[in-house]
Structure 1
């Protein structure tokens, strides 16, 4: 079996069988491509079926020189998934990473923004430009709906149910969920839709996309990252933030205001509540207040 053939089949398995997003599939594939490149540089002609543990150990050891512990763990996890797939398809009987341990890493808690931080970021947007009106609507949507950046870029006009107060969000694995949208965010999106978007030269295939770049095409994830980072620099925020920070802040602020974890799970579109529980670790002060307020032994 050739590596490229195995990788192609593996990609289809991740997409179709496991229902992973394109970004997730690309990440898994990249892990395997790093191993392939290592073999090519060493001029080793060995198939994925016969590659032994010691050779993969050598690859991980050399990779570790330029990777932190978290990246090493991610690489090992990605390779382990690939060889699990080969076992699943009966291409090989064992996983060569079975005895390779991942480095110990602490659980990384996501950064959050305060309500004042978010207000300052949005107030720093230059509303004298068409892009400013769009950017305000985007950041308000990210925060008030708790969206992933990919969910924001793929948001469709046909997904907006403003009369009902909801938007239809397509999340990981093309799973859909309805998320409430507050009146102020509806107002900002409506301003953008009525005053800015009609003046764009919208390209074929993007007629139903809500947020567009100045060329009339769907915005990229990288562009939204850039917009947010530039605003953070502009107000001298002093925090390393990304579009996902707005999502974390959305969940944390809900928890601080006594929303239950199950509701937050549904709003975020988490398949498992275990994923949502990370926000509990962010807000120990809130949990202390809950015990002091409600426990009979207070």
Structure 2
């Protein structure tokens, strides 16, 4: 089978069967393209169905030599495994060569987190006398109050706000919907933006249901939210790397520190795997370590 048609078929499968978002499908496609490039560099050109476990190990060595970091290698590996599962399901291959392929060891990077005081400082730095002030406050309160991804925030719909029961419905990765609780401060800020300011915006056709709009009446870009946060960091003089994702990290870390169940946090963040959520236990572990050294009689 030719690589081009194998990749096309795989991407169609991801879209129709797995309901993945377009950017995820493109990303998977690019990863398999790298395997295709590697196969074309071989003396005897390899096809999707003739690749062996040994070839795949050589490929991992090849991308490692290109300087690809372990987390990128692991992502490519995950794409290859999904690709071969698809080929097996379609009866294009009889055995999966990627089955025994090991992932590179990844050092999980601890995310930057903001303290509760840092978050208050950033929110307090918003100029509420400007028309966009109420909106920007509602954005930060929602990011921190519900742990949303920036793309989930920009796509948030009025019809998915259930503020009377303190929940919002979010469309996450792979078009998966989840219900997320939302805090009192975020509800208050959202109501001020929606009821007092947003009502005066001249809304463009097709954007009527979008919560956060710019002055032209269209949804905000992710870039705008990054820049808005960067400006607030400069105003406050905060010496941390802060992005919209930092609010998500902080939301999760503060919940775990407060004793929240990891499964519940996983559900709220929309994580497929509990190991993705376990990254937020880092401060909790430090606290446990200091408690043991301080109070344990044998320490």
User: 1:261, 1:10 → 2: CA distance?
Assistant: 34
Q: Which residue of 2 aligns with 1:204?
A: 205
Q: Which residue of 1 aligns with 2:149?
A: 148
Distance, in Å, in 2 between the alignment partners of 1:179 and 1:36 is 41
Task: Label 1:183 to 1:105 Cα distance change in 2 as closer, same or farther (>3 A).
Answer: closer
- Compared with structure 1, are the counterparts of its residues 45 and 207 closer, same or farther at alpha carbon in structure 2 (3 Å cutoff)? farther
Q: CA deviation at 1:158?
A: 0.8
Q: Secondary structure at the match of 2:168?
A: strand
Task: Decide whether aligned partners of structure 1 residues 124 and 40 sit closer, same or farther in structure 2, where only a CA change above 3 A counts.
Answer: farther
* RMSD between aligned residues: 3.4
Structure 1 unaligned residues grouped into runs of 5+? none
8 Å Cα contact 1:56/1:96 also seen in 2: no
Question: What is the rounded CA distance, in whole Å, between the counterparts of 1:81 and 1:18 in structure 2?
Answer: 11
The equivalent of 1:11 in structure 2 is 11
Cα offset for 1:156?
Answer: 0.7
Uncovered stretches (5+) of structure 2, i.e. residues with no partner: none
TM-score (norm 1): 0.81
Superposition deviation, residue 137 in structure 1: 0.9
Post-superposition Cα deviations, 1:47-106, rounded to whole Å, max 9, x if no partner, equal 433456548835851563242232223223322322232222221234455565443222
Deviation of 1:202 after TM superposition, in Å, equals: 2.1
Aligned pairs for 1:122-137 within 5 A:
122-137=123-138
- Are 1:243 and 2:244 an aligned pair? yes
Q: How far apart are residue 45 of structure 1 and its match?
A: 7.0
Shift, 1:44, TM fit: 9.3
| 1:111/1:174 CA distance change after superposition, 3 Å | same
Counterpart for residue 33 of structure 1? 33
Give, in whole Å, the separation in 2 of the partners of 1:117 and 1:6.
50
Distance 1:164 1:70, change over 3 A: closer
1:184 to 1:172, Cα distance in 2 relative to 1, 3 A: same
Cross-structure match for 2:89: 88
CA distance in 1, matches of 2:84, 2:23: 20
SS of residue matched to 1:109: coil
Per-residue Cα deviation, 1:4-23 (whole angstroms, up to 9, x for no partner): 33223222322343343444
Counterpart CA distance in 2 for 1:3 and 1:236 is 52
Residue 256 (structure 1) aligns with: 257
Secondary structure of the 2:49 match is: coil
Separation (CA, whole Å) in 2 of partners of 1:235 and 1:28: 40
Distance 1:238 1:122 in 2: 16
- 1:245-284 to 2 correspondence within 5 Å? 245-284=246-285
CA offsets 1:84-135 (integer angstroms, 9 cap, x no match): 3222222123445556544322222322111122122222333343333322
Give the alignment's TM-score, normalised by structure 2: 0.81
